[in-house]
Amino acid sequence: MASTISPPRRMSPGERRARRERRATWITLSVVAIICAVVGVGAYAMANSWWVADAPAPSADQQLADGQSRFDRAGVDFLNRQRLATVDIAAPARASELGLPTEGETPVETLVPLTVEVRGNGAAIAFPGVSWFSLGTADDRLTSLSVTPGSSGAWTTIRTDLEGRAGEWGWTASDLATLEAQVGEAAREEGDAQTVSLPPTLVDGMTVSADVVIDESGQISLQYVFAP
């Protein structure tokens, strides 16, 4: 007995094109819906984040209870938001508690200029406008802090900064004159990077020195180095 079932009708080219267009439209709308959902969730999370809070309270992985900054990812994120980094040289916590390696040098290049607050035995020393500083560690101890102040970049502003601190920190006019002569000589020798320094001095229980760095192109920068 012959089959009476008719074969399925083949779609015309126009019908196939319409079907493809409907499928493409559905896929596009689905992707847009997913993107909108992700953006919405991200906006909600940011609105409730400490990044946009007026006075965010640090968590334990961002700052120690006594105000010392931490320098792992969470700590650096927070100090960039707060625009303040606090380093205790006289009584530092262990390097590992500060989010630092037990041995080595950790440079910190900030997202925005901020204030580095250095704690000794006396009043804290504040350096505003800092975009770079570095912390040295050994045997799980903080051994040094190097700060490039906002005045760095030109000898005139560097000299003014040094003169403003010299009397309190123990550098003499003769020390500054010798440094200026050394800077001038080094600047004339382009192609050779050099560092000239003021003698170390004791300030509030910290050993402090000032290094003027002249790079191969003659660019000049100032670094204050603090050590316990």
Residue 154 has pLDDT above 80, yes or no: yes
Residue 130 has pLDDT above 90, yes or no: yes
User: If pLDDT is split at 50, 70 and 90, which confidence band does 47 have?
Assistant: very low
Say what the pLDDT of residue 34 is: 72
Cα distances (angstroms) measured from residue 110 to each of 82, 113, 134: 11, 7, 11
Q: How far apart are the first and last CA of the chain?
A: 104
Burial class (CB in 10 A: 0-12, 13-18, 19+), 6: exposed
Q: How many CB atoms lie within 10 A of CB 107?
A: 9
Q: What is the pTM assigned to this prediction?
A: 0.73
For the residues 51-74, what does the mean pLDDT come to? 78
Say what the pLDDT of residue 190 is: 72
Choose among 204, 162, 201, 157: nearest CA to 179. 162
Strand pairing class (104-119; 84-88): parallel
Choose among 175, 147, 149: nearest CA to 161. 149
